[in-house]
Structure 1
């Protein structure tokens, strides 16, 4: 049976700041992120299965990514919890803003690593996460490949 890759794309708006950075991104700002999620597996061959012919139902993949990433990160601001931005984070939270505190510098590179773990933990055992592409701007993106992380 042939392995097939399928991809679903998502978009969300997220703010962040890079503490200690030597450029403009040290300031709180936001991006219109685009996330492409590619999984790999064998299409279901049991013709009595309602998912016959599918690697995974796009609706099932959408549910996982929405719950783990889009619903949490959309219109939230992400800060490293071990930086002085914690004071700003607490102020924003006290005013009803969605703030996510993470263990890492919230770069696209680190976010895509975090997203890969979140998605992998939720996929059925028969499906493998192949790659993620997190696009921060029209010309800048970070990619994660399972084959690079064995």
Structure 2
């Protein structure tokens, strides 16, 4: 993976981690006005997660990097996104994928005693197109 600069999120947390990874998946946008995106097609999605917090766990981690990757890669890699329960009743656009990844990550973080927060999910669908999802509010320290 190449070095990438991502948009910064202003926050007051002591620690911030960013995790890059990718997954390959197919999707289609079930709408007549989606043009050729109505047809099933695939992408190698590049994802960056921004996680922040003030307290480290017993290992000295905010979150284990491999846990973050497994949560998303393990669920979405080599899948037809439209068939996954997370996208039932939703169009798996890049915006919706980014929001869904946020929910998946934040729900897992909420189970941790050190309570880190997902501040940003960056999803690159193609070399020229990406989406950034940020929750409207995040708890600060």
TM bin (shorter chain): 0.7 to 0.9
Please give the per-residue CA displacement for 1:84-113, whole angstroms capped at 9, x wherever unaligned: xxxxxxxxxxxxxxx424221000101111
1:86 is matched with: none
Is the Cα–Cα contact under 8 Å of residues 4 and 40 in structure 1 kept in the other structure?
A: yes
Secondary structure in 1 matching 2:24: strand
Is the Cα–Cα contact under 8 Å of residues 19 and 68 in structure 2 kept in the other structure?
A: no
Say yes or no: does 1:130 pair with 2:119. Answer: yes
What is the distance in 1 between the residues matched to 2:76 and 2:131?
Answer: 17
1:139-150 correspondence runs (5 A)? 139-146=128-135, 148-149=136-137
Secondary structure in 2 matching 1:121: helix
Say yes or no: does 1:62 pair with 2:66. Answer: yes
1:121 is matched with: 107
Q: CA RMSD in A?
A: 2.3
2:8 is matched with: none
| Structure 2 gap ranges (5+) | 1-11
TM-score of the superposed pair, with normalisation by structure 1: 0.71
Query: Displaced runs of 4+ in structure 1, greater than 6 A?
Result: none
Is the Cα–Cα contact under 8 Å of residues 17 and 50 in structure 2 kept in the other structure?
A: yes
Which structure has the larger Rg?
1
Is the Cα–Cα contact under 8 Å of residues 64 and 122 in structure 1 kept in the other structure?
A: no
| Structure 1 gap ranges (5+) | 80-98
Secondary structure in 2 matching 1:143: strand
Say yes or no: does 1:107 pair with 2:99. Answer: no
1:3-82 correspondence runs (5 A)? 3-22=14-33, 23-42=35-54, 44=56, 49-51=58-60, 54=61, 56-57=62-63, 60-66=64-70, 68-79=71-82
TM-score of the superposed pair, with normalisation by structure 2: 0.75
What is the distance in 2 between the residues matched to 1:24 and 1:113?
Answer: 23
What is the distance in 1 between the residues matched to 2:20 and 2:59?
Answer: 23
Secondary structure in 1 matching 2:108: coil
